[in-house]
Each structure stands twice: as structure tokens, then as C-alpha cells.
């Protein structure tokens, strides 16, 4: 090999070493720059001992460890510096001079907590499935009287029975509610969709129960208790619990079998809260032995029932007509371009009263003002 070739080889090796040194220097500068940026972003709650990030970095750069790395005496070095961080405290709650730390709040496992009124009346009512848009039935009127009688003599005309009835046709009504939610929110909160469905479904059932009690059939409303009920108004000064007993007795006399009394929870509390002269509650009397029965009638508390009145029911002669059970529909296509989902909950139903007198509205007359 010629001397010229050896010189070229040595020159290439020297150039490679120079390039390596330059590369290491560039890498070191990048590390220093990153440290400077971190120091600039450092919150004021804590600080370096030297009270200045740039001074601390200068101390690191001028350290013997970095010098040995720069001089290629070491391939990797560790540099330590004294950092002083004062007491860590919750952000915004610590003493002056402490280091604030923003702790993540604990999340309630329930996505939403809400009031869900129980639909105790709907749970107790008989349900008849319906398969058409309307339902027809024959209602027996209260003017019916038993005409059965003796046949005095052979050949005499026997007693003839008339059956007063009314043909009824009811149209099923739709009760529904919708809401729109973001797909991202549902994805990030796994239980949120189920909670929303429960909330909407509870609201639809509450509306149905309220309409069964208060619906008068006007407009698009259901023909409920308010439409079908026979009125029983007790004299002024009568206790409502006694008026309920009177209504039950009259219904039994007419041949019906009343089994339930619907009353508002506030009204029920007023009845059971009556005290004797000695201060004891009249809760163990024959008429109101407890919160489950009243005059042998099962008590159903319902917020759908207005206060200061009650309904005595023959549960065998009334029913909910179920055209479409509570249904949940989730549509993520209509609002797909907005990345939104529409949740809809609905049902279709109506109400039937097969015998007049099966529903008795009980009230007490207002006192006469002299």
C-alpha cells in the first residue's frame, strides 16, 4: 500500500471522529435546550435552590461530569443538582409558599342521580294486550238492577231483565320523550346511556300513571279516572278516612268488589297523623290499622292522585290497554354527520272501565262559611 493511500485512510478516520464529536455536541445542546424549556414551564410554587432555572442549568453545564462527556472521556454521565420543593398541598388549599398539586377528583360511579317516582298504580293494574289502533268494549251502566222475581202462577209472564250498556271505543295514545347525546360522551361514560334510558323510561311511565288518574278524555288525553269515576262527596267535617269507608260500603252494596284505595302520600300522612286526646296516633284503629290497609282496602300511594281526595277501585273491572310496551329506540344515523345519537322512549296505551261504579272518587265537602 502506498504512503498516499495510508494518508487518505487516516484522514477519513480523523473526519469520522470529528463528525462524532460534532454529533455529540449537538445532542448535548438539545438536552440543555430541553432542560431550559422545562425550567421555563416550571410553576412558581416550587423552585431551584439557586432561585433561578438558568443558574441551575449553568451549574449543570459547567459540572465535571459534562466536561468529561464533552472531552470524550466518558460515553454517559449522570449530573445531580439540589432541587428544593416545598410541601406538596392540594392546589389552592395549601399554605403560602407551598407547592400546589392538582389532584384528580373522585368520580361518582353513578353517571346521573335523579328522582324516579314509583309507578305503583301501573304495577297494580291489570293489563290487556291490544293489537289495533283502538279498542272497543261494552260498559255496564250503574242503572242496572236485578229484575229476577217470582212467577206467581203457571203461565204468568216471567220477569224480564233489561241490561243498560254503553258501547265504548277508545283510541290508544302515544306518550314519548327524546333526547340527543354526543357519541363521545356515551363512549367515555359506559353507564351513561343506561342511566339516560332509565331516566326517560321512568318519566314516560310516570306520565302514563298521571294520565290514567287525571285524564278526562278531552283533546288527546286518555279517558282515565277523572272521566269514569262516580263521585262520593262526604259531608263537611267528615274525616277523609271515614269518607273512604263510606264509599267502600256503597260499592259493596252495589255488588262491586272494591279492593284498593289510591291516595296521595301527603294525604295519607295527614290521615295516619291524627292523634287521640292522650297524644297517641290513631294508627291502630279498625279503620286504619296500618300503612298497608284501610277498611280492608289495600293502600296504594301515588303522587298522580291529587291531594285531599282518594279513589276506591274494583281492580277486576278496570285495565290498562297495552298497544305498545315501553320501547327504547336509539338512532345514530340521522345525526351521524354531527356524531350525535338520538334516544327515544315511548309507549302506546289507553284505559278501560268495564262497569260504571268500579271507580269511586272520594272527597269531603268544604265547610260552609256562615
Q: How confident is the model over 12-21, as pLDDT tens digits?
A: 665 665 565 5
Least confident of 6-15, 146-155, 315-324: 6-15
Cell numbers describing residue 293: 290497609
pLDDT at position 112, please?
A: 67
Q: Is the pLDDT of residue 320 over 90?
A: yes
- pLDDT, mean over the chain: 81
* Pairwise CA distance, residues 122 & 80, whole Å: 74
Kindly report the pTM of this predicted structure: 0.68
**List of residues 6+ apart from 309 with CB closer than 8 A:** 240, 264, 267, 361, 362, 363
Answer for the pair 66, 25: CB distance below 8 angstroms, yes or no: no
pLDDT tens, position by position, 43-72 = 544 444 444 445 555 666 677 777 777 777
Residue among 2, 77, 76, 86 at smallest CA distance from 44 = 86
pLDDT at position 312, please?
A: 98
Q: Give the whole-number percent of the chain exceeding pLDDT 90.
A: 45
Cell numbers describing residue 107: 368520580
* Pairwise CA distance, residues 368 & 319, whole Å: 38
Q: Taking residues 237-251, what's their average pLDDT?
A: 94
Answer for the pair 191, 217: CB distance below 8 angstroms, yes or no: no
Residue among 288, 296, 290 at smallest CA distance from 258 = 296
The DSSP code sequence of 233-282 is: EEPTT--HHHHHHHHHHHHHHTT----EEEE-HHHHHHHHT-B-TTS-BT
Residue among 249, 262, 259 at smallest CA distance from 296 = 259
* Pairwise CA distance, residues 134 & 52, whole Å: 83
pLDDT at position 16, please?
A: 63
**Of 68 and 35, more confident:** 68
pLDDT at position 45, please?
A: 46
pLDDT at position 367, please?
A: 84
Q: HSE on the CB side for 68, CA within 13 Å?
A: 10
Cell numbers describing residue 269: 300522612
Q: HSE on the CB side for 26, CA within 13 Å?
A: 6
Q: Taking residues 138-159, what's their average pLDDT?
A: 90
* Pairwise CA distance, residues 206 & 190, whole Å: 26
Residue among 127, 181, 116 at smallest CA distance from 347 = 127
Q: Give the whole-number percent of the chain exceeding pLDDT 70.
A: 69
Question: Looking at the DSSP assignment, which residues form a beta bridge with residue 281?
Answer: 275
| Inter-helix orientation angle 265-272/240-253, to 10° | 110
Question: Looking at the DSSP assignment, which residues form a beta bridge with residue 135?
Answer: 170
Residue among 292, 222, 319, 303 at smallest CA distance from 266 = 303
Q: Taking residues 82-102, what's their average pLDDT?
A: 66
**Of 279 and 359, more confident:** 359
Give 192's pLDDT tier (boundaries 50, 70, 90). confident
351521524: which residue's cell? Answer: 336
pLDDT tens, position by position, 248-284 = 999 999 999 999 999 999 999 888 776 666 666 665 5
CB-count exposure of residue 322 (10 Å: 0-12, 13-18, 19+): middle
In the chain the beta strands, taken as DSSP E runs, fall at 47-48, 83-84, 88-90, 99-101, 127-129, 134-140, 165-171, 173-182, 230-234, 260-263, 293-294, 297-301, 310-313, 318-331, 340-353, 359-364
pLDDT at position 47, please?
A: 45
Amino acid at each position: 500500500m502506498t504512503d498516499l493511500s495510508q494518508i487518505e485512510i487516516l484522514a477519513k478516520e480523523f473526519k469520522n471522529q470529528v463528525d462524532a464529536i460534532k454529533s455529540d455536541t449537538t445532542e448535548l445542546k438539545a438536552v440543555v435546550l430541553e432542560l431550559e424549556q422545562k425550567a421555563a414551564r416550571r410553576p412558581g410554587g416550587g423552585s431551584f435552590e439557586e432561585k433561578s432555572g438558568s443558574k441551575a442549568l449553568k451549574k449543570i453545564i459547567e459540572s465535571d461530569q459534562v466536561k468529561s462527556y464533552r472531552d470524550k472521556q466518558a460515553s454517559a454521565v449522570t449530573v445531580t443538582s439540589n432541587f428544593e420543593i416545598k410541601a406538596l398541598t392540594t392546589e389552592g388549599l395549601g399554605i403560602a409558599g407551598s407547592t400546589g398539586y392538582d389532584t384528580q377528583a373522585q368520580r361518582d360511579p353513578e353517571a346521573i342521580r335523579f328522582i324516579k317516582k314509583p309507578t305503583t298504580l301501573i304495577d297494580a293494574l291489570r293489563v290487556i294486550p291490544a293489537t289495533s289502533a283502538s279498542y272497543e268494549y261494552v260498559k255496564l251502566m250503574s242503572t242496572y238492577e236485578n229484575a229476577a222475581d217470582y212467577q206467581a202462577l203457571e203461565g204468568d209472564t216471567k220477569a224480564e231483565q233489561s241490561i243498560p250498556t254503553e258501547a265504548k271505543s277508545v283510541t290508544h295514545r302515544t306518550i314519548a320523550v327524546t333526547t340527543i347525546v354526543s357519541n363521545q360522551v356515551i363512549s367515555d361514560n359506559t353507564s351513561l346511556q343506561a342511566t339516560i334510558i332509565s331516566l326517560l323510561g321512568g318519566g314516560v311511565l310516570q306520565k302514563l300513571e298521571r294520565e290514567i288518574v287525571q285524564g278526562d278524555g278531552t283533546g288527546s288525553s286518555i279517558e282515565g279516572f277523572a272521566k269514569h269515576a262516580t263521585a262520593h262527596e262526604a259531608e263537611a267535617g267528615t274525616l277523609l278516612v271515614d269518607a273512604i269507608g263510606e264509599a267502600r260500603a256503597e260499592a259493596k252494596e252495589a255488588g262491586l268488589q272494591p279492593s284498593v284505595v289510591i291516595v296521595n302520600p301527603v294525604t295519607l300522612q295527614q290521615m295516619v297523623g291524627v292523634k287521640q286526646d292522650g297524644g297517641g296516633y290513631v294508627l291502630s284503629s279498625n279503620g286504619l290499622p296500618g300503612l298497608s290497609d284501610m277498611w280492608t282496602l289495600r293502600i296504594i300511594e301515588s303522587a298522580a292522585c291529587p291531594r285531599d281526595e282518594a279513589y276506591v277501585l274494583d281492580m277486576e273491572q278496570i285495565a290498562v290497554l297495552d298497544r305498545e310496551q315501553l320501547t327504547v329506540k336509539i338512532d345514530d344515523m340521522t345525526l351521524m354527520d354531527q356524531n350525535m345519537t338520538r334516544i327515544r322512549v315511548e309507549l302506546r296505551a289507553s284505559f278501560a272501565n268495564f262497569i260504571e261504579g268500579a271507580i269511586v272518587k272520594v272527597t269531603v265537602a268544604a265547610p260552609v262559611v256562615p
